[in-house]
Structure 1
Amino acid sequence: MKLSPTQLYRLSIAGRTASALSLVGVATIIATFTFSKDFRSPTHRIMLINSFYNLFDFIATMISVSGPEAGNNSALCRFQGFSLQMFPVADVLWTVAMTWDVVLVVFYHYEPRALRRLEKKYLAIITTLSFIPAFVFLFIHNSDKGPLYGSVEFWCSISPNWVLFRIIFYYAPIWFFILVVLVLYFVIAHEIFKLRHELMLTHTDCLVLSSATPSNESIERTNNDDMKSIETPIIRQQSAVSLRKFLLMPILFFLALLTTWVAPTINRIYAFKHPGEEPYPLMVSVAALGSLRGFWNGIIFVSMRSKGRR
C-alpha cells in the first residue's frame, strides 16, 4: 500500500507524539527510583531495568518515517530495525521475569533480597535471547528480497519481503511469552484461591503466609516451655509480602503490554491475508499504541508506592 505524503506525515506525528510521551514515562521511572526510596521494591527494580531497554525502543519509534526515507541500506534504517527487533522482545521477557517473581513469592515465599539476587540472571538471559537474533539479522541480505531490515512504511523493521522471519522471530515469540504470562497468572490465582484459608491480608495490605518458617525466638520457646508454645509460633515479619507490589503492579504492567501488541498483531494478520491493503486507521493505531507503552509504564510505576510494604 503506497501512502501519500500527507498520510505519512500524520503517521509520523502519531508515532512521535506517543514516543515522546513514552520517553517522558521512562525519564519519570528513572528519576522517581533515583530520588525516592519509596519506589525500591523488586518489581520497581525490574521496571527500572526494563526502562533502559525501552529507551532505545522509543528512540527508534521517534525516528519514525525518517528511517525508511533514509533508505533500506542506511545506518539509520538498520539501527531502527535492530532496535525494533531487540527491545520490544526484551520488554516482553522482562514481563515474564516480573511474573516469575510473583510465582516465587506466592509458591516459595521468596523475600525481596532473594528476588534481587535473580536480577543479574534475568539480565543475562533476556539480553542474550533478544540481542542475538536482532544482531544476526543485520547481516542477512538476499539479492531478490534485499536486506532483512527494511521499510514497513512508517519505520524500518523486518521487511515485508521477509514476512516468515517476522512471524517466527517476532510475533510468534512475543505472543508465546504473553501466553506463558497468562498461564502463570491463572496458576497463581488458583493457588491463592486454594490456600485462601491459609492466607491472611493484614491492615497494611500485606499478604501473610501462615505456613511461614518460625523465627529463632519461637524455636527457643518450644525447647524451654510447654507444648502449648508449639501451637503459636512467632512468624517472621519479613515471609509477609505486599499484595499490591507482587500482584497488582505486574498485572497492570502486563495489561499495558497487551494494549501495545493487539493492534500491531491485527495489522500484521490483515496484511498477511490481504497484502498491500492495510487499513490506514489501523496503521495509525499501530504507530500510536505501539509507541505508548513507556507512558503507561511510567504511570504504573509511580502509582505503586512501596513504603511501609516491604
Structure 2
Amino acid sequence: MILSDQQLNTLAVVGRASSALSILGVATIIITFSFSKNFRNPMHRLIFINAFYNLFDFIATMISVSGPNAGDESALCRFQAFSLQMFPLADVFWTLAMAYDVFLIVFYHYDAEDLRRLEFKFITIITALVFIPALIFLFIRTPAKGPMYGSETIWCSISPQWVVFRILFYYGPVWLLIAFAMILYCLVGIRVFKLRQNLNIGRADHIQLSSKTSIENHSNTKTSSTLQDDEISIHTTSEHTIESPKSPITPPPTSRIHPRPNHHQSGVSFRHYVLMPLIFFLVMLSTWVAPTINRVQAFIRHDQTSYPLLVAVVATGSLRGFWNGIIFITIGMKGRRRSGRLANHITSIT
C-alpha cells in the first residue's frame, strides 16, 4: 500500500502536533525541577535527567516525514534515525531504573541519599548501552541492502531491509526491559499489599524505612541497660545491709539515668517514590503498543501498510512527553499540598 500525499501530510501534522506537546511537557519538567525545591527528590531527579533524552527523541519525531523526503543518505535522515534508535530506548531504560529504585525502597529500605548514589551509575550504563549501537549503525551498509539507517515511511530509522536488526536491537530489548519492570512492580505490589499497615500507607502517604535490624539492636541495648540497672540496685542493697542490719532496706537512688539510644527512623512519600514511577511506567507501556503491532504486521506482511495504525503510531508514540509533564506536575503538587497540611497539623498540635 502506497500512501497518498494527503495521508502523508496528515501523518506529518499529527506527529508534529504530538511532538510539540511533548516538547512542552519536557520543558515543563526541566523548568519545574530547576526552579522549585518541592520537585527535588531522587525520583524527580531521574525524571529530570530522562527529560533531556526525551527532548532529542521528540525533536526527531518533529522532523517527521521530512527525514525520508530528504533521502537515506542525507544528514537529516541519518540524524533522525540515530536519535530514534538511541533516545526512545533510553527512555525505557530510565523507566526500568525507576522501577529498580522502587524495588530497593520497598525491599531494602533505601533512602534518598542511597538512591542519589546510584544516579551516576545509571547515567553511565544507560548512555553507553544506547549510544554505542546507535553510533555503530551509522557506519553499517552493504551493496545489497544499502545503509542500515533509511526511510520508514513516517520517519527514518533502521530500514526495512534490515528489519531483523530492528527487532533484535530495538523492539526485542524494549519489551525485555518492560518485562523486567513489570516483574519488579509485581513484587513491589505484593510486598506493599502484605505490609500496607506497617508501611503506614494511606492518609499519611508515608513509607517507613527503619529496618528490623535496627529495631532488634535497640531492643537488645534497652534490655542490657535494664539488666545493668538491676545489678546496680542489688550492690546498693548489700551495702545498706552491712552498714545497718536492723535498718529497713531503702530503695536505691534514682539519680543515675541511662540514656536510650536514638532509634533513627526515616521515610519517603508513597506518592512520589512508588505511585509516580508506576504511572510513568504505564504511560510508557501504552506508547509502545501501537508501534510494536505495526512492526509485527510489517514483518509478517511486507506488502501491506495500515494507515490508521500509522496514525496511532505517530500520535501515541510522540505524545509521551506531554503525559509525563502532566504526571510530574500533578502528583508533585498533590504531594506538596499534603505535606503542607501535615506540617500545619503538627504545628497546631505542638
TM-score by length of 2: 0.82
- Which region of structure 1 is more displaced relative to structure 2, 175-184 or 270-279? 270-279
1:242 aligns with 2:254: no
1:255 aligns with 2:282: yes
Quick one: distance in 2 between partners of 1:233 and 1:243?
28
**1:29 aligned residue:** 29
1:300 aligns with 2:324: no
Quick one: distance in 2 between partners of 1:54 and 1:46?
12
Quick one: distance in 2 between partners of 1:215 and 1:241?
22
1:150 is paired with a residue whose SS is: strand
- Which region of structure 1 is more displaced relative to structure 2, 125-134 or 268-277? 268-277
Q: Is the CA contact (8 Å cut-off) linking 1:85 and 1:170 kept in structure 2?
A: yes
**Structure 2 residue identity aligned to 1:94:** W
**1:14 aligned residue:** 14
1:205 is paired with a residue whose SS is: coil
Quick one: distance in 2 between partners of 1:123 and 1:74?
30
Aligned-residue sequence identity (percent) comes to 57
**Structure 2 residue identity aligned to 1:144:** A
Return closer, same or farther for 1:226/1:301 CA change in 2, 3 Å cut-off: farther
Q: How does 1:85-100 map to 2 (within 5 A)?
A: 85-100=85-100
Query: Deviation digits for residues 5-30 of structure 1, max 9, x if unmatched?
Result: 11111000010000000000000000
1:164 aligns with 2:191: no
Partner of residue 276 from structure 1, selected from 300, 303, 326: 303
Q: Is the CA contact (8 Å cut-off) linking 1:218 and 1:234 kept in structure 2?
A: no
**1:195 CA drift (Å):** 3.4
- Which region of structure 1 is more displaced relative to structure 2, 298-307 or 173-182? 298-307
Quick one: distance in 1 between partners of 2:179 and 2:47?
20
Quick one: distance in 1 between partners of 2:112 and 2:300?
47
1:157 is paired with a residue whose SS is: strand
User: Mind listing any 5+ residue stretches in structure 1 that lack a counterpart?
Assistant: none
Q: Is the CA contact (8 Å cut-off) linking 1:215 and 1:235 kept in structure 2?
A: no
**1:233 CA drift (Å):** 8.2
Q: Is the CA contact (8 Å cut-off) linking 1:68 and 1:153 kept in structure 2?
A: yes
**Structure 2 residue identity aligned to 1:236:** H
**Structure 1 residue identity aligned to 2:155:** W
Q: Is the CA contact (8 Å cut-off) linking 2:141 and 2:147 kept in structure 1?
A: yes
Q: How does 1:12-91 map to 2 (within 5 A)?
A: 12-91=12-91
Q: Is the CA contact (8 Å cut-off) linking 1:81 and 1:149 kept in structure 2?
A: yes
1:276 is paired with a residue whose SS is: coil
**1:211 CA drift (Å):** 3.6
Quick one: distance in 1 between partners of 2:203 and 2:219?
24
- Which region of structure 1 is more displaced relative to structure 2, 70-79 or 267-276? 267-276
**Structure 2 residue identity aligned to 1:59:** I
Q: How many residues align?
A: 305
Quick one: distance in 1 between partners of 2:278 and 2:38?
20
**1:203 CA drift (Å):** 4.1
Quick one: distance in 1 between partners of 2:216 and 2:31?
38
Return closer, same or farther for 1:202/1:263 CA change in 2, 3 Å cut-off: closer
